[in-house]
Amino acid sequence: MTDTAPPQLVPFDRTSLTLADRVEALLHEQIVGGALEAGARLSESEIASSFGVSRGPVREALRRLAHRGLVVVESHRGATVRHLDLSDVRQLFEVRIALECEAAALAARRVDDAGRAELIDLERLADGEPETGLTAVFDDHDLHDLIVRHAGNEQLARMVRQVNVELRLARSRSGAGGGRASEAREEHRRLIRSLVAGDAAGARAAMREHLSAALFNTLQTLQGPTEEDRS
């Protein structure tokens, strides 16, 4: 188990969100951003001291984060940042693929003219990016959130949000290198073209291709180089 230094004192705006809301938001940001690593111990007293609050809001924030799948709370051991093993990652991706393929098909059927224009603009912006291997315009979450929004199903959107929150634990330990980023850019383009054309089957297939490649890349990154790669 890893002990990680608690975050620095942050002045709270006490006029809007509750203290528990603020603590939850700050811890969430540090967990999904990788500042708090998997297995890191989350001491209520240390966090409370660092944030300048009592232990009550910290306890509530940790309870909420556990409900969201980011923290594990065990009696007599306290709270730690959840660790995803390869099986966890694979299972979460399988759920994500099922949900987002359906979202893509629904979006292709339901997207309106304004939505199609938004997608076309996104592709044009990406076409203007330098081929650096980075995907600033085709940011994965922006495009996927847009597709889920145009699917027009709030229950589906809620489930997609939940599985992606949990997968952020894996994304903080992996990423897309230059080659994979370039491939993802092309996958996004194919997906957008199917959506704009109203091709539900094509959108479903393009999303499956994209997320299956993302799963493979994530597992390879988390596994590290094999003996064959090192030789």
Q: How confident is the model at residue 171 (pLDDT cuts 50, 70, 90)?
A: confident
Q: Is the pLDDT of residue 176 over 70?
A: no
Q: The pTM is what?
A: 0.78
Q: Is the pLDDT of residue 231 over 70?
A: no
pLDDT, tens digit, for every residue of 112-152? 999 999 999 888 887 765 554 444 444 544 889 999 999 99
pLDDT at 142: 82
Q: How confident is the model at residue 109 (pLDDT cuts 50, 70, 90)?
A: very high
* One-letter identity of residue 83: H
Contacts of 127 (CB under 8 A, 6+ apart): none
Order of strands, sheet of 71-74, starting from the edge strand that comes earlier in the sequence: 2-3, 40-42, 78-81, 71-74
Q: Is the pLDDT of residue 194 over 70?
A: yes
DSSP 3-state assignment of 3?
strand
Q: What is the mean pLDDT of residues 161-190?
A: 79
pLDDT, tens digit, for every residue of 20-60? 999 999 999 999 888 998 899 999 999 999 999 999 999 99
H-helix or E-strand containing 229? helix 227-230
Q: Whole-number mean pLDDT of the chain? A: 84
H-helix or E-strand containing 158? helix 154-171
